[in-house]
Amino acid sequence: MGTVGAGTLQVIQDNQAEIDARARINIRVTHVGARNKELDSSQADIRLSKDIFEVARDPDVDILVESIGGIEPAKSLVLEAMASGKDVVTANKALIALHGNELFAAAEESGVTLSFEAAVAGAIPVIRSLRDGLAANRINSLAGIINGTGNFILTEMRDHGRSFEAVLSEAQDLGYAEADPTFDVEGIDAAHKLTILASIAFGIPLCFDEVYTEGISKLEKMDVQFAEELGYRIKHLGVAKATEQGVEIRVHPTLIPESMLLAEVDGVMNAVWIDGNASGPTLFYGAGAGALPTASSVVADIVDIARNHHDEAGNGVPHLGVDSAKQKDIPVLPISECTTAFYMRITAADKPGVMLAITQVLTDAGVSIDAIIQKEAEKKSSQVPIVLITSEAKESVLNHALQQIEALEDIVEPVVRIRAESFEG
Amino acid sequence: MGTVGAGTLQVIQDNQAEIDARARINIRVTHVGARNKELDSSQADIRLSKDIFEVARDPDVDILVESIGGIEPAKSLVLEAMASGKDVVTANKALIALHGNELFAAAEESGVTLSFEAAVAGAIPVIRSLRDGLAANRINSLAGIINGTGNFILTEMRDHGRSFEAVLSEAQDLGYAEADPTFDVEGIDAAHKLTILASIAFGIPLCFDEVYTEGISKLEKMDVQFAEELGYRIKHLGVAKATEQGVEIRVHPTLIPESMLLAEVDGVMNAVWIDGNASGPTLFYGAGAGALPTASSVVADIVDIARNHHDEAGNGVPHLGVDSAKQKDIPVLPISECTTAFYMRITAADKPGVMLAITQVLTDAGVSIDAIIQKEAEKKSSQVPIVLITSEAKESVLNHALQQIEALEDIVEPVVRIRAESFEG
């Protein structure tokens, strides 16, 4: 009975008439497990247990909603509920991303459903859209703004020219960011969600450990502004791409053209852009967090399960789109083998010949320059920033060129490098 | 075997491995009905019938895809297929909007599924998203750009300052618009789709006849430009709103703030914005037409049906979200009772006192002015355009004020009036 649990109770009660009609059955909260909460007097018909496992053992409970978060005791609770024949709905992305393979096997073993629409992108029905709505497609790529805190910070940095630290501190005051913001700003939360999306998109087992993850905490406002001058916005994206060599699954700050709809997704909102080989580009947008938006997806899962109960069906839809025996064994490429364009900010001594030397290194590496800004040196400074966007290149190739650039005599600081994507073709 | 039929065949064949794994069963095209087409030699294992009803009668066919369009013979074909126990997938929005109540009753009678994801917004899984993904919500309102031809025309008018007629003619040359563009530009196609969305959103029977429909053919480029100056874009929207008095269901040109994501949806792309009472605002974007995007949704419906077959389930999801017996009897408000803001372009003699007179009429009607542009008279002209955006008002109230304004001595032309929406709150 934290945020999501209380939201779920509220939605089930507020929208009872609509939900019951759609589910073709009456959906009621009968038992709440809450270690430190009391229910108010209007909830007198709901049983309350301080031992949350009481709910998993209650024979009157058909569907258990896990809204604890984290791994334990959530995992044990879910396993116990499923073992006793209950369907389970969870909003727990870490649990699914890290232990989903095991949990789905247990669900199939018990003949129950483990649903997790709310685990990715809050109110957006992106699991359904990808697993069911786009089931006819080979997915070429997807890119998601799937952490609202990070997107709020980047939006504020761009709109008001503020620093990462200043915005984070405000986000914490507003309650958009946790006291420990690591999960959000270092991309771990986004990597959990991307793991789930990539598994469904490509029909592969969940593989959180192989997801490359880079945060936004080192992003400087200067680079946000230079990106803007070049016609780009910096978003903290989760990207999954099918290539001939394998799949790329990565979370990192990314320049995207400001003309993309995804670039317009601001503040705490989430969106997932998906490109299928039949559908072409699609985008799914909505609130990524919050009590009611998350509950919207939790209750949608309950309705789905209830609709199946109505017809005494089993679990018609494989949890991750295909059965585990049918999942493909495709390699996840290390980040060094991934291909993107790159934004580079090179701080050089204000001398002739520097630009030529940089261009020479990149040309030798087979990398061309798509756009460039060269600023005049500020007064009293003998240093100039050279900002450029490269053509697409394999990361290992680019890294090698970067080392050579940093070794040039007139390069006075480490080069700032941010990946860029246009998601075309 | 027109555009959609050929696309469906192609998607099923190109993505066979993915589709079979997701459906948990092998999905094959075994029989094609095509009055004037031949299959190429690579399709030798597919039976071809010139009498399309042969497909509905073929005992080896489990699922019939209707991709003829129009009412007859599509309706008879669908009814015959369902009567003989086949599930049916259709992309036919006119058929569902006009005859869906009857067809779904027949489907329930026969215990089969009639699926229609492709009937609304091509590749976008908006039927699923609204009916299943947002099933926990009371829907406050939705607004869709659901006709690609119309959106292409409006985008070109805005981007290049061109006239409706010039762009329409080009769209016809490019194949974006039919030789007879009435269905697209007069909003009939959008009204078909909106009828379906509104039924699912509000749990009411399909009611095409009660949808207010107004096209874009009379839109002048001058108004597109004035809207832009005021920070708005003009989109041809299908709008459905729940109010205390009933539901508003209407298709018309609409000014929306350029800051809305929906305003950024350009060219032939479609998008549907949906505001649920738990989810908050969501948006679903993608290709609204074309062989492969439409086939993406047709085949998704086939996969859904196949997943249910796998578990020998019946039809777990009510066709329109709730069973017909549970549909609500909510009045659809006539357009005169609908409430929006209004853009008005008033052409007046260039004399003092005109502005005062207009303001007086609006104030007396309880309508305030939110924004105004007053241009100087062009050289040699004694007329000035006065462009304004009003506060929200009931259409009948606004119309009465408009008559009074047009009766003013110095108003020299009929007032141009376009509805405006901000979709806030």
B19 contacts in chain A (CB < 8 Å): 135-136
Asked if pLDDT for residue A74 goes beyond 50, the answer is: yes
| Average pLDDT across chain A, whole number | 92
| A391 min Cα distance to partner chain B (Å) | 27
Q: Kindly name the residue from B86, B93, B193, B241 that is annotated as catalytic.
A: B193
Residue that is written with structure tokens 């009975």 in the block: A1
Chain B residues whose beta carbon lies within 8 Å of the beta carbon of residue A136: 11-12, 15, 19, 295-300, 302-303
Q: Is A11 on the interface with B (CB under 8 A)?
A: yes
Does the pLDDT at position A411 exceed 50?
Answer: yes
Per-residue pLDDT tens digits for A203-245: 999 999 999 999 999 999 999 999 999 999 999 999 999 999 9
C-alpha A302/C-alpha B136 separation (Å) is 9
For A171, counting Cβ atoms within 10 Å of its Cβ (0-12 exposed, 13-18 middle, 19+ buried), the class is buried
DSSP designation for B130: I
CATH code for residues B3-123+290-326: 3.40.50.720
List residues of A with catalytic annotation.
193
- Asked if B280 and A292 come within 8 Å (Cβ–Cβ), the reply is yes
From chain A, pick out residues whose CB is under 8 angstroms from the CB of B132.
Answer: 125, 128, 300, 303-304
In three-state secondary structure terms, B89 is strand
> Would you state the pLDDT for residue A313?
42
Query: What architecture (CATH level 2) is domain B338-420?
Result: 2-Layer Sandwich (3.30)
Q: Do A279 and B285 touch (CB under 8 A)?
A: no
CATH of A3-124+290-326, one of 3.30.9.10, 3.40.50.10330, 3.40.50.300, 3.40.50.720: 3.40.50.720
List CB contacts (< 8 A) between B325 and chain A: none
Could you tell me which of A412, A367, A423, A280 has the C-alpha nearest to residue B292?
Answer: A280
Comparing CA positions, the residue from A8, A290, A263 lying closest to residue A174 is A290
Q: Which residues, including other chains, have CB under 8 Å from residue A54's CB and lie 6 or more apart?
A: A31, A33
| Known active-site residue B193 | yes
Q: Do B278 and A304 touch (CB under 8 A)?
A: no
Q: Are strands B339-349 and B383-390 parallel, antiparallel or unpaired?
A: antiparallel
Could you tell me if the ipTM is greater than 0.95?
Answer: no
pLDDT interval class at A73 (50, 70, 90): very high
Tokens of B132: 């299943």
Q: Which residue of A has its CA nearest to B312?
A: A313
CA B180 from centre of chain: 18
Smallest Cβ distance to A282: which of B117, B285, B311?
Answer: B285
Residue B425, pLDDT score: 53
Looking at the complex, report in whole angstroms how far the Cα of residue A22 sits from the nearest Cα belonging to chain B. Answer: 5
Question: What is the least distance, in Å, from the CA of B26 to any CA of chain A?
Answer: 13
Spell out the residues 6+ positions from residue B116 whose beta carbon is closer than 8 angstroms to its own: B89, B90, B91, B92, B93, B96, B100, B127, B196, B301, B319
pLDDT digits (tens, 9 = 90+) for A37-49: 888 877 889 999 9
Are the beta carbons of A286 and B285 separated by less than 8 Å?
A: no
Q: Determine the residue of chain A that is closest to B117 in CA distance.
A: A133
Percentage of chain A modeled with pLDDT above 70: 97
Q: Two tokens at B263? A: 């305003």
Residue-by-residue DSSP string for A359-380: HHHHHHTT--EEEEEEPPPPTT
CATH 3.30.360.10 fits B126-287, yes or no: yes
Radius of gyration from C-alpha coordinates of chain A: 24
Kindly state the DSSP code that residue A332 receives in the 8-state scheme. B
Answer whether B299 touches A (CB < 8 Å).
yes
Q: Tell me which H or E stretch contains B249.
A: strand B247-257
Residues 380-409 of A with CB under 8 A from B: none
State residue A314's pLDDT score.
41
Amino acid A4: pLDDT: 94
* Residue B131 DSSP one-character state: I
Q: Could you tell me the CATH superfamily of domain A335-420?
A: ACT domain (3.30.70.260)
Residue of B10, B15, B18 to mutate when probing chain A, most A C-beta within 10 A: B18
| Residues linked to residue A247 through DSSP beta bridges, in sequence order | A242, A332
Q: Among all residues of chain B, which has the CA nearest to that of A202? A: B18
Considering only alpha carbons, which residue of chain A is nearest residue B122? A279
Size of the A and B interface in Cβ pairs below 8 Å: 238
Give the tens place of pLDDT for each residue, A142-166: 999 999 999 999 999 999 999 999 9
Domain layout of chain B by residue ranges: 3-123+290-326, 126-287, 338-420
Give me B160's structure tokens.
């290049």
- For B76, phi and psi rounded to 5 degrees? -65, -40
- Whether A108 has a pLDDT exceeding 70, the answer reads yes
Select from A18, A124, A312 the Cβ nearest to the Cβ of B138: A18
Q: Which numeric CATH code is attached to A126-285?
A: 3.30.360.10
Shortest CB distance from A136 goes to which of B136, B203, B303?
A: B303
CA-to-CA distance for A49 and A39, rounded, in angstroms? 11
Q: How far apart are CA B266 and CA B226, in angstroms?
A: 19
pLDDT, tens only, B283-322: 999 999 999 999 999 999 999 998 876 544 444 677 778 7
Q: What 3-state DSSP class applies to B414?
A: coil
- Dist CA A203 CA A198 (whole Å): 8
Chain B contact for A317 (CB, 8 A cutoff) = yes
Between residues 160 and 219 of chain A, which touch chain B (CB distance below 8 Å)?
A: 203
**A302 to chain B: nearest residue by CA?**
B136
Residue position matching structure tokens 């959106």: B151
Over its length of 425 residues, how does chain B's per-residue pLDDT go in tens digits?
789 999 999 999 999 999 999 988 899 999 999 988 888 877 889 999 999 999 999 999 999 999 999 999 999 999 999 999 999 999 999 999 999 999 999 998 898 999 999 999 999 999 999 999 999 999 999 999 999 999 999 999 999 999 999 999 998 998 878 788 999 999 999 999 999 999 999 999 999 999 999 999 999 999 999 999 999 999 999 999 999 999 999 999 999 999 999 999 999 999 999 999 999 999 999 999 999 999 999 999 999 998 876 544 444 677 778 777 878 888 889 999 999 999 999 999 988 889 999 999 999 999 999 999 887 777 777 888 999 999 999 999 999 999 999 999 999 899 999 999 988 75
Angle at A175 between CA A169 and CA A251, to 5 degrees: 75
Structure tokens at A272: 């997932």
Asked if residues A92 and A118 have their Cβ atoms less than 8 Å apart, the reply is no
Distances (CA, A) of A50 to A1, A37, A55, A81, A197: 11, 8, 10, 16, 34
For residue B58, the SS3 value is coil
Instruction: Write out residues 318-347 of A within 8 Å (CB-CB) of B.
Output: 318, 321-323, 326
What's this model's pTM, rounded to 2 decimal places? 0.93
A315 pLDDT band, cuts 50/70/90, is: very low
Give A425's pLDDT tier (boundaries 50, 70, 90): low
* Residue B315: per-residue pLDDT: 43
Binary contact (A297, B23; C-beta < 8 A): no
